[in-house]
Structure 1
């Protein structure tokens, strides 16, 4: 056994330990975590988010400032004790009172701009204003040709024979459309006889014969008291013209101008634009011009003192909202920005706590149930039809009945304005007003004499707005053109799925309208969807819809959105029917794939869409069902059609006889214009500075960008 070596021996051999008690590394040694007691509160408290920290800091700053002001006032009061000092203080106080009287206090909301963008009109104003300013949401840009010269076919589209000769008026729009129109006319006659309304048996022939033989009257321009002031081009002509002045630029101007509508059918207009940058540039130019001309804020340097409330759709697209937020914060440099949904703003404007809001716009109809200041997410419905469809359908019906102005073309600006005026003055949903009547209109064209036309109309004035309940009557062919050409949907940064807001009511409607997919075809990257899953057949029972479940509980007739399927093409709308046959919705995984399909146009009967929305909002709760069905409020420009409320009530009562006594269609209170209710509600929301925590400031946006929306919105963004 070898003995232990001495220290001298180790040193001689170079093996002596020379450790100076230093660690092997200078990095700190972290002990292992005890897994039994592991806990962290990272991002679990509100005060750890920047948005909430800044709010708390602002509140503390205000509290500190008020405390200092109070201490300063007390100190001043103590120092003013004494005769001469008090007299001087009183004199100073009187002088300050006079100065205060000269400088008026700032009105609440005078520094808040409210913006509501629609497909046809922009409504803008200060929150302190009683009513907004309305500007057409259009811009005219220099071009080689006008929009009417670009189109090969007039609007509405006519059919021609093989020898290029025009068809007879009765066959202008095809046999299928004519038969549908004739069927609706016959149904209206039957309904009017059931309601004991007298009508002449040959009313239609009287109208056609009168329109055939009527002759126009020429009125010289200097004898026309209501002649139009056309937009005169300066020298040099401007690059673009905005708003009402753009609509009054003559079609034959030199140089030519082409109209662009940045918003179409509630979506960004991707069909008429070639780049996303130009699309949002036109939106910013229209907003900038409106702020300068309508609000009088001509200097951009003053805009940083103003806040902005922006109204967005209930079913919005995140890419659009993010782009608008960047525009308002970067280009316009507003101090603060917040967003509010249309239906919630409508309830603010009307003063309702709960309601089913039906917003009928120019090219979009949205339905949403609002409960206690929140939009019920699964009740949101967005339909791509509105007042413009009624205008075009009315002109088609009049042309079918030998309208004296047979060359009308809605691509021409003066013709479109004329058609809009005729629709507003003539169309009605009141059956008592349906009779052969004589009307007249004045055709005013730049550089030509005014032409006065006289014509007769019968049931066209009623059947055109009936298109809301017979959507196959509208021309829906071009509404999906260009969709997703410029703007991609928003995707989740973690799993790559689409994360635009969804709604169970919208999914049910889209499922009803979806044509069957070929077997094993994937929809938007999801799992394969078989034809049987999309198209309900009698052989395969499907789970009932939300509306159907409630009807079964009440044992009421199933004449609703969840009707029995058609024998063969259950998933597709019927060409000649009033309402497309609607199968029961598929299971939840298939709904998502159908909702995101961009080849399905959401155009559906208005009464069935309302009942679908309410059914998903009530969630089988009968009390909620009665509350919503008794609190339906129609707003928007399309709701101005005379008699629409009573007609819609009657339709809903026929579909839901169990709730006939509860159904009530309300109008905005205090005789408020239905077109401005949404804007008015947003202005009220903008004045709630003390309780509104959804404002987005510059510092927050600079640091977090549009990610702030998840913390700032009052709904699940």
Structure 2
């Protein structure tokens, strides 16, 4: 105890423990952190400008002695046996021209432009007038003792078992002609009814009983055998059992192998157990690297590397094969392969321009860049989207690009040389679906060639595409009973000629672009993308982040245009329940009604103004004035659209489409998003690909103005895009496609102009489909535009050299590309 008289100091409570967030794993020190240096007092220029960075130093060194400006050594690079450009001028005589090109970018004579499509590869030097087109496919025969053939055989057995189970589960079994839907006949009759209405509005008289006349004539047709010396377009088939055949065949030879165009007997029936069957691969489908077919053949672990190896084999064959000799003469039907004539030892002296789809996958871009720079050894690469290339090829800077290829259809809007990311849209039907539907219509009209199997025999698929290109049209003026010749060429068989009489089948087949309900989308769904994703409301977001966040397994981002296209699949906004009124409130309401003053009713807070409510009422009245004859749209049918082929916008408009342009569009989308049930999910990218073509084009244009707040700016962009519609791809050659699109798009633009802007419909802008300049083939429009874009001075900064790719990787592509 303390002595008496001493005072005790009051004890203080111990300090509380420090917050865990304030605890730092640093010991106390007396070192003083120096303050930042004042740049005004420093005489050095180190890192004060962009030119002092390491990347800029590498670019300066590259311009002096790097791959982009090669100097005299580069201009002496071999260009193949001809050692000349496409114009026939020797390389030495173009020295001055090459020196001028060095000031703005790589010389065009050492720049290769590659446009890989699903079925064909378009490749050529930037100085060439037209690209080299070859089938992008490869045929492989499994090696002896390799388990790859066993994997392929097991996958085929599993697929047969699945198909057998599906057919047994179906109550009716598979149909005779493989119709996509059981009610296909009803949907065909709807198309015929629409066609009759169109002809009635255009003052065209149909032929009486024409359908029965064509069917009876085709049923009585007998084949005529054409001698080999009289067949001008005879096909030279490749014998797959020849002894000099290797294990890999590329390009046109792979497509003409007899084993893919005839039914091969099984090895058990022939007694040949050592026979190795060939397998045909297409590395790209629908603008993506097709890994599904390689997984079936090689397994999940080796599928991606096998695909890239096949792609490297095809591109190597196209680049290294000698050029065509203009003085040589070839027999028709013979296979004569041509290439660019650039040996692999000189690839380090060449640059590559790669055209990628507008709706691309970042993983595919990385794989293709790694293939060209690391494995094939090119000096530099430049990436550009297909829509921008098409607008440059057409000579415009803004427009709506519609690409209708063999197995993919894409819609995108390009404004001032840049793709509007929220306007990108991919549709799940293409020219191949037109061919299948055309064959279905011909078979219903007693097609004389009874053994047509376009899904099994490659020669029959060629025949279907040939008939589509020769006969199909969207011009109602071409309707009539016409007799055409059909030549059937199969391996080990003489050519047979049939007479075919057609009527409305030539117009009904391409009408599936505007009425895709006749297409079976369930068979087209990719195996790797079966998982659905939750619906996402339209919102501005970073396109790069969208493609890397793994929203979908297929790597396709969900854009605003996709969300606008699937509004008809979302559940309706529930009507608010009436609010129970108290006796006092009811008495007040009765008093106010007696006095002539309207009582305040409980209305939901929708955020709409009076003008918006009026526009909504007008839109609802317009939508309910003419009810749809085909019923409400389903997931397979998509929204119904006006049946217009040509003429005014009100032709055949009994199937009125839902109004996509009213002022309450964002409000309804937000209300639908708020009232979605917890278990509701939808794959937006997949469901948006089922809508009609005109519906998709219009919503792509609406998606391009989704982030605009100024009405005047949005109106100007809509005018620019609708006045510059470009159709590319093989189906872009379809006669009457431009008239059909202009008529349908005119109806959408007029509706938007009156309801959204409140202006007179007579002053609404016209939708115009621009034909390719100078009658250029729309299939090579993107390649031609890329060859022009590569010569611009602004493209100098978009090149990614090989050494930058090796150091920075994907970051180098992001910093050099304008669309990433």
**Residue 109 of structure 2 aligns with which residue?**
110
Evaluate the alpha carbon distance shift between residue 654 and residue 671 of structure 1 in structure 2; reply closer, same or farther with a 3 A threshold: same
Q: Is the 8 A contact 1:391 1:423 kept in 2?
A: yes
**Residue 509 of structure 2 aligns with which residue?**
464
1:199 to 206, 210, 221: 206
2:433 to 360, 376, 389: 389
Report the Cα offset of residue 362 of structure 1. 1.4
**1:259-298 counterparts in 2 under 5 A?**
259-274=280-295, 275-293=303-321, 294-298=338-342
2:704 to 617, 620, 632: 617
**1:364-513 counterparts in 2 under 5 A?**
364-410=408-454, 411-484=456-529, 501-510=557-566, 512=568
Report the Cα offset of residue 220 of structure 1. 3.7
1:342 and 1:134 mapped to 2: Cα distance? 17
Report the count of equivalent residues. 623
**Residue 130 of structure 2 aligns with which residue?**
131
Evaluate the alpha carbon distance shift between residue 162 and residue 31 of structure 1 in structure 2; reply closer, same or farther with a 3 A threshold: closer
Evaluate the alpha carbon distance shift between residue 611 and residue 228 of structure 1 in structure 2; reply closer, same or farther with a 3 A threshold: same
Q: Secondary structure at the match of 1:539?
A: coil
Report the Cα offset of residue 30 of structure 1. 3.9
1:645 to 738, 763, 768: 738
1:50 and 1:295 mapped to 2: Cα distance? 39
Is 1:572 the equivalent of 2:645? Answer: no
**Residue 396 of structure 2 aligns with which residue?**
352
**Residue 314 of structure 1 aligns with which residue?**
358
Report the Cα offset of residue 479 of structure 1. 1.8
Q: Secondary structure at the match of 1:435?
A: coil
Query: Per-residue displacement from partner, 1:121-142 (whole Å, max 9, x unpaired)?
Result: 1110000001101111211122
Q: Is the 8 A contact 2:571 2:672 kept in 1?
A: no
**1:11-90 counterparts in 2 under 5 A?**
30-32=31-33, 46=50, 50-58=54-62
Report the Cα offset of residue 296 of structure 1. 3.3
- Taking structure 1 as the reference length, the TM-score comes to 0.76
**1:116-265 counterparts in 2 under 5 A?**
116-142=115-141, 175-233=182-240, 234-251=242-259, 252=262, 256-265=277-286
Query: Per-residue displacement from partner, 1:405-436 (whole Å, max 9, x unpaired)?
Result: 22211120110111110000000000001112
Higher mean alpha-carbon deviation, 582-591 vs 653-662, is at 582-591
Higher mean alpha-carbon deviation, 256-265 vs 336-345, is at 256-265
Report the Cα offset of residue 654 of structure 1. 2.8
**Residue 531 of structure 1 aligns with which residue?**
none
2:747 to 633, 641, 654: 654
Q: Is the 8 A contact 2:312 2:371 kept in 1?
A: yes
Report the Cα offset of residue 511 of structure 1. 5.2
2:251 and 2:114 mapped to 1: Cα distance? 15
**Residue 572 of structure 2 aligns with which residue?**
536
Report the Cα offset of residue 53 of structure 1. 4.6
1:338 to 374, 382, 386: 382
Query: Per-residue displacement from partner, 1:427-452 (whole Å, max 9, x unpaired)?
Result: 00000011121112111111112111
2:522 and 2:50 mapped to 1: Cα distance? 50
Q: Secondary structure at the match of 1:409?
A: coil
2:29 and 2:638 mapped to 1: Cα distance? 77
2:605 and 2:449 mapped to 1: Cα distance? 51
Evaluate the alpha carbon distance shift between residue 289 and residue 588 of structure 1 in structure 2; reply closer, same or farther with a 3 A threshold: farther
- Taking structure 2 as the reference length, the TM-score comes to 0.67
Evaluate the alpha carbon distance shift between residue 588 and residue 49 of structure 1 in structure 2; reply closer, same or farther with a 3 A threshold: farther
1:298 and 1:48 mapped to 2: Cα distance? 38
Unmatched 5+ stretches in structure 2: 1-27, 40-44, 71-90, 102-106, 143-148, 265-274, 296-302, 322-337, 532-542, 577-603, 643-656, 675-679, 751-760
Q: Secondary structure at the match of 1:238?
A: coil
Report the Cα offset of residue 599 of structure 1. 5.9
1:413 and 1:511 mapped to 2: Cα distance? 39
Evaluate the alpha carbon distance shift between residue 660 and residue 464 of structure 1 in structure 2; reply closer, same or farther with a 3 A threshold: farther
Pairwise CA RMSD of aligned residues?
Answer: 4.6
Higher mean alpha-carbon deviation, 379-388 vs 42-51, is at 42-51
Report the Cα offset of residue 172 of structure 1. 5.6
Report the Cα offset of residue 249 of structure 1. 0.6
Q: Is the 8 A contact 2:628 2:640 kept in 1?
A: no
Query: Per-residue displacement from partner, 1:193-213 (whole Å, max 9, x unpaired)?
Result: 221102123111111111222
Evaluate the alpha carbon distance shift between residue 558 and residue 696 of structure 1 in structure 2; reply closer, same or farther with a 3 A threshold: farther
Evaluate the alpha carbon distance shift between residue 601 and residue 492 of structure 1 in structure 2; reply closer, same or farther with a 3 A threshold: closer
Is 1:702 the equivalent of 2:710? Answer: no
Higher mean alpha-carbon deviation, 656-665 vs 354-363, is at 656-665
Q: Is the 8 A contact 2:635 2:690 kept in 1?
A: no
Report the Cα offset of residue 481 of structure 1. 3.0
Query: Per-residue displacement from partner, 1:556-597 (whole Å, max 9, x unpaired)?
Result: 89989xx99999977734489669979967449969x97876
2:695 to 603, 608, 611: 608
Evaluate the alpha carbon distance shift between residue 370 and residue 492 of structure 1 in structure 2; reply closer, same or farther with a 3 A threshold: closer
Evaluate the alpha carbon distance shift between residue 544 and residue 190 of structure 1 in structure 2; reply closer, same or farther with a 3 A threshold: farther
**Residue 87 of structure 2 aligns with which residue?**
none
Evaluate the alpha carbon distance shift between residue 551 and residue 375 of structure 1 in structure 2; reply closer, same or farther with a 3 A threshold: farther
Q: Is the 8 A contact 2:118 2:284 kept in 1?
A: yes
2:396 and 2:511 mapped to 1: Cα distance? 28
1:550 and 1:315 mapped to 2: Cα distance? 36
Unmatched 5+ stretches in structure 1: 1-26, 67-98, 514-533
Q: Secondary structure at the match of 2:701?
A: helix
